[in-house]
Structure 1
Amino acid sequence: MADALNIIPPAVLRGLADKLYEKRKNSALELEGIVKQLAVAGEREKIRAVINLLTTEFTYSPQANHRKGGLIGLAAVTVGLAREAPQHLEQIVPPVLNSFLDQDGRVRYYACEALYNIAKVVRGEFIVFFNKIFDALCKLSADSDANVQSAAHLLDALVKDIVTEGDQFSIEEFIPLLRERMNVLNPFVRQFLVGWITVLDSVPEIDMLGFLPDFLDGLFNMLSDSSHEIRQQADSALSEFLAEIKNNPNVDFGRMAEILVQRASSPDEFTRLTSIAWINEFVRIGGDQLVPYYADILGAILPLISDKEEKIRVLARETNEELRAIHADPAGGFNIEAMLSIARSQLTSEREGTKIEALHWIGVLLARHRQEVIYYLNAIFDSLLKALSDPSDEVVLLVLEVHASIARDASHFRQLVVFLVHNFRSNHSLLEKRGALIVRRLCVLLDAEHVS
């Protein structure tokens, strides 16, 4: 520090700590000239001593004006160093970043200004600090001081320019930080995050699509934000990603399908609609990669078939038909047991449309994979028998079709008849309301002599 005191005139040091901005600024300009001369002379040790003095005696001072002076001083040093500045960034940047946490709003403001001026000088060399800067900007975007927010916004724009113009940015190192921040609820932070996602996705050299599963859930979470602007921004980003997936379907469909299935049951209508729109596209283009997730997808689709919103119902039915049209092979990961379990679970739904489609699925699975379905029959048979008491005639008729298909095997035929006789005896209401319908329909579907 003694060396630095000999290098910097006392008047300059006093000026840096002055309460008036103009005096601090003028002293910083003098300091810039001094450092420029040191850089030309190759006096690196003296430069380090100057930076150390500004850090210890100014930026970490208990006096706010000293801290402000230290920040403008560090920026001035960087400007003075010019091309030599990158060699000293490890010493210059940390105290500036630390000042973002200052309790004094003016200090935080000047920290933004200082880092802006530093970044303008070193450009891409500054990327080594990107994660720390991003983290700081994320917090500053929600700063309680509007002036700090404004200064942070300008710094943010510059950092975006630097990232997009260079090739030193590491998406692999950034994604864990982004993922960690995605579930923050603050509206300013959410806008900040979506802004960065959109900017990074616009850079051809940065593969944001490959990392989409890491932040997809966070984007979907923003669709239910109380702010229309945030919902719109999140929707726009999601639409862009979905368009990219259609053009380049080499993505991790499985991880994203898990997220979409969860979001499809959201209480928020817009989130459900967006989820089923994505699921619809995934079913079309997901191919073999999606086969192991068909049961989960079916579990998302069936309730939406009876959604209160017509757009969702239409998309869900369309997706259901697309899924049913795919002849998947158990050898390729198609889980018949899981599909049956999902269909069975929906037989107790209060929604007729959902129950009807669940029964259609059981019928389709029986037709395509009879042996496997019969093998798992015990898991669904009781539910199918109970469904004969459903208040909907259409549901009961479909249940009977499924039972008739199962009853082609003699043992299951006997099981069905025993159940019906027992229930007709114990449940006179069922006998009176449905007895004739059940017997007549089974006579049509099966050999009448067997039924009678």
Structure 2
Amino acid sequence: MADRDHAPLSIACVRALTDKQHDKRKAAASEIEKMVKEFAALNNTVQIRKLLRVLGTEFTMSQNPNFKKGGLMGLASVAIALGKDSAEYAEHLIRPILTNFSDNETKIRYFACEALYNVVKVTRGAVLPYFSEIFSGLSRLAADHDQGVKNASEHLDKLLKDIVTENATFDLVGFMPLLRERLYSKNTFARQYIISWVTVLDAVPDIQLILFLPELLDGLFDLLNDPNSRNLCGHVLSEFLRSINKDPSKVQFTQMINILINHSQSPDETLQMAALSWIKDFIHLSHEQMLPYTSGILSAILPCFAYESEAKRGIKDVAKAVNMNLMELINPKLDDEGQSDENHQRKPECDLDLSSVLDVLKKQLAHTSVNTKVASLTWLYHLHNSIPKRMLMQVDDLFPTLLHVLTDHSDEVVQHGLNVLAQIISPESEAGRVPVPDSPHHPYFENFLHSLIGLFREDRQLLEERGSFIIRQLCILLSAEDVYKSTAEIMRSEHDLKFARVMVDTLNTILLTSSELFQLRNILKNEENGKLFQCLYETWCHNPVATISLCLLTQNYEHTCELIMILANYEISVEFLAEVDRLIQLIESPIFIYLRLELLQVPHNYYLIRSMYGLLMLLPQSETFHLLRHRLECIPKLHFFHESRNRLKENESGNKYNLEFDTLRGHFTTIQDKHKL
């Protein structure tokens, strides 16, 4: 090959530089170094550039491995010879070497690392414009299968880190896209390499890496999935979180919260725990800035309430803490819908997206976990309590979901569902302030009772198994008198007679036995409440034994006698006898102690005695028959009271209420005739 082909290199130098033996190549490299120093002394930049072009194209780009090795050593020698002046030729020194980072031959990659190390060592800060290219190459070599290449790349990487940390001109903005991209590498070694760079950059006081955290956070959390990178990445994330807590003013919370929400739903426990911990601190530090993201946060934390295993207790505890902090952000100040006062206008970026929150809560109510459903219902209660005006606009959409909650298998879930419903339909609620024509109640109260009765009608098992619990809880949460009166008014027009009989039996049993209805029983015993009695009576007529018990409870004994005599005209069924049996058992309970004492009040107990004997005559001679008979044997004989009847005043009634009992008796007969058909 002619001398001019590789000028300014001599043929001998070229031959030595491309020799297989390392010592000969090394000698040629020394000759090149000497040559470049002479060129530099004469300021002969033309020859220097010509030499770089020869080495960078005809040698390092050659298909011959020995030419590549020689070219790499030659470029390193040029840089060493130029010293600080090599910065002027940085591009021609660096790029040919970087090309060989991806060479198929291990030795070539090794020599490329070694050559670039020598170049970077003398050029220092001049390599920064090419930092991204060098970084990309090193990130690939970090995963190299050859340990020698990896060791060489690590030496170069350490030098590069020193240069970056000491140089204020480092272009962090330009580097971010590349760093973000490399965070998603699938190779463990490449991941560890990237983490090491994040650690180094974060440690530099002059580099505010936290400002770029939104670009890096997703990739860093993704690295927690790798068991081999988990410890390193966990440490980096902990340091970032410590910095955030130290100076939250520089943190762009809203640009990162969705990333955290996404990772907090990961099946990986470590990743989930870390993300939830970050969310907890974000809420604590940024306050109302997190309000627009409430629905996403709830989607992440509510399923965690279902965790029961010891391994996930920590996650569950953090989720509860997040839930508490988030709930504290919901306050009456957010309930200023429609206010025109500028001082009350909310910033859109700090507002609560109520519709999306309710969508999440409704979805979580379908969860299999009792704890998750209870937490969701607690949220609904809190929202109604804190922002009732805004919640009022959502009631129609929410109502069917809450009704369905009443069919849940858990008493705790049903209880919380009733708490929310009571909050909506109570007179003190926003809905309660909406006037309803011709009704003392508000619309949702009536609508709810209609819907509840419809639910019981469609699902008789629900009525049988949960009806008593639901009605008793409603009477605790609301006015028992209002609940019973409104229910009776609705049931009065019930066409399903069999359902009406069962429903009245349920209501009556609760009325007679439940401690929650003690006050209502006392109200009914007051003779001033005849209208309430009549309202219940007209519906209670669907169940004759319930009607009799209502009359006994309210001390309308004369009418009780009349009803018992009327029943002689109807077929006595086994179901009827069973209900009479239960009534006798109730008469022996503390609820009717006043009635048993009235048996001693001569002569006013005439109709009561007749009623008791009438019930006795309806029963076959069973255990219950003898129970009542023994009770009646404890009082004077019936003929004594028959005589005392003559001493009663002619105008004295055996009923407590001053009502048209003839009309009531006619209504009772009409209803019984309908059931007979």
Structure 2: distance between partners of 1:235 and 1:285? 21
Partner of 2:403: 385
Deviation larger for 1-10 or 100-109 = 1-10
Partner of 2:221: 220
Structure 1: distance between partners of 2:352 and 2:39? 71
Partner of 1:169: 170
Give the alignment's Cα RMSD to 1 decimal.
Answer: 1.5
Does residue 254 in structure 1 map to residue 254 in structure 2? yes
Deviation larger for 393-402 or 334-343 = 334-343
Q: Report if aligned partners of 1:404, 1:445 keep a CA contact under 8 Å in 2.
A: yes
Q: Secondary structure at 1:267's aligned position in 2?
A: coil
Counterpart mapping for 1:95-114 below 5 A: 95-114=96-115
Structure 2: distance between partners of 1:9 and 1:288? 75
Query: Following TM superposition, by how much is the alpha carbon of 1:179 offset from its aligned partner in structure 2, in angstroms?
Result: 1.2
Q: Secondary structure at 2:385's aligned position in 1?
A: helix
Does residue 439 in structure 1 map to residue 471 in structure 2? yes
> Which among 408, 413, 416 is matched to residue 395 of structure 1?
413
> Which among 442, 446, 462 is matched to residue 414 of structure 1?
446
Query: Which amino acid in structure 2 is aligned with residue 64 of structure 1?
Result: P
Residue correspondences, number: 450
> Which among 354, 363, 376 is matched to residue 358 of structure 1?
376
> Which among 311, 318, 322 is matched to residue 319 of structure 1?
322
Counterpart mapping for 1:365-380 below 5 A: 365-380=383-398
Q: Report if aligned partners of 2:306, 2:371 keep a CA contact under 8 Å in 1.
A: yes
Greater RCO structure (CA 8 Å; 6+ sep): 1
Q: Report if aligned partners of 1:4, 1:46 keep a CA contact under 8 Å in 2.
A: no
State the Cα deviation string for residues 131-183 of structure 1 (Å, max 9, x = none): 00001111111112221111111111111111011112111001101111111
Q: Report if aligned partners of 1:31, 1:77 keep a CA contact under 8 Å in 2.
A: yes
Q: Report if aligned partners of 1:337, 1:373 keep a CA contact under 8 Å in 2.
A: no
Structure 1: distance between partners of 2:190 and 2:108? 21
Partner of 1:196: 197
Partner of 1:293: 293
Q: Report if aligned partners of 1:31, 1:73 keep a CA contact under 8 Å in 2.
A: yes
Query: Following TM superposition, by how much is the alpha carbon of 1:384 offset from its aligned partner in structure 2, in angstroms?
Result: 0.9
Q: Report if aligned partners of 1:32, 1:79 keep a CA contact under 8 Å in 2.
A: yes
Structure 2: distance between partners of 1:267 and 1:358? 22
Structure 2: distance between partners of 1:414 and 1:60? 87
Query: Which amino acid in structure 1 is aligned with residue 473 of structure 2?
Result: R
Partner of 1:34: 35
Q: Secondary structure at 2:365's aligned position in 1?
A: helix
Partner of 1:58: 59
Give the TM-score, by structure 2 length. 0.65
Q: Report if aligned partners of 1:4, 1:50 keep a CA contact under 8 Å in 2.
A: no
Structure 2: distance between partners of 1:86 and 1:175? 25
State the Cα deviation string for residues 88-117 of structure 1 (Å, max 9, x = none): 112111111111111111111100000000
Query: Following TM superposition, by how much is the alpha carbon of 1:188 offset from its aligned partner in structure 2, in angstroms?
Result: 0.5
Q: Report if aligned partners of 2:57, 2:96 keep a CA contact under 8 Å in 1.
A: no
State the Cα deviation string for residues 225-254 of structure 1 (Å, max 9, x = none): 132xx1100100000000000011121111
Query: Following TM superposition, by how much is the alpha carbon of 1:4 offset from its aligned partner in structure 2, in angstroms?
Result: 7.8
Deviation larger for 175-184 or 191-200 = 175-184
Q: Secondary structure at 1:60's aligned position in 2?
A: coil
Tell me the percent identity: 38
Partner of 2:506: none
> Which among 431, 438, 461 is matched to residue 429 of structure 1?
461
Q: Report if aligned partners of 1:143, 1:149 keep a CA contact under 8 Å in 2.
A: yes
Structure 1: distance between partners of 2:457 and 2:6? 104
Partner of 2:128: 127
Partner of 2:266: 266
State the Cα deviation string for residues 62-92 of structure 1 (Å, max 9, x = none): 1001101100100100111112111111211
Query: Following TM superposition, by how much is the alpha carbon of 1:339 offset from its aligned partner in structure 2, in angstroms?
Result: 2.1
Partner of 1:144: 145
Structure 2: distance between partners of 1:71 and 1:322? 61
Query: Following TM superposition, by how much is the alpha carbon of 1:32 offset from its aligned partner in structure 2, in angstroms?
Result: 0.6
Q: Report if aligned partners of 2:199, 2:236 keep a CA contact under 8 Å in 1.
A: yes
Gaps spanning 5+ residues in structure 1: where?
A: none
Give the TM-score, by structure 1 length. 0.97
State the Cα deviation string for residues 13-70 of structure 1 (Å, max 9, x = none): 1111011111111211111111011011100000001111112221011100110110
Q: Report if aligned partners of 1:3, 1:49 keep a CA contact under 8 Å in 2.
A: no
Cα distance 1:6–1:135, how it changes in 2: closer, same or farther (>3 A)? closer
State the Cα deviation string for residues 247-300 of structure 1 (Å, max 9, x = none): 111211112110110111101011111111111111111233322222211221
Structure 1: distance between partners of 2:469 and 2:451? 16
Query: Following TM superposition, by how much is the alpha carbon of 1:326 offset from its aligned partner in structure 2, in angstroms?
Result: 2.2
Q: Report if aligned partners of 1:4, 1:49 keep a CA contact under 8 Å in 2.
A: no
Query: Which amino acid in structure 2 is aligned with residue 8 of structure 1?
Result: L
Structure 2: distance between partners of 1:448 and 1:178? 67
Structure 2: distance between partners of 1:377 and 1:194? 50
Structure 2: distance between partners of 1:83 and 1:152? 23
Q: Secondary structure at 1:237's aligned position in 2?
A: helix
Gaps spanning 5+ residues in structure 2: where?
A: 335-345, 427-431, 433-441, 485-677
Query: Following TM superposition, by how much is the alpha carbon of 1:3 offset from its aligned partner in structure 2, in angstroms?
Result: 6.3
> Which among 362, 367, 382 is matched to residue 349 of structure 1?
367
Larger Rg: 2
Partner of 1:19: 20
Partner of 1:278: 278
Q: Report if aligned partners of 1:58, 1:66 keep a CA contact under 8 Å in 2.
A: yes
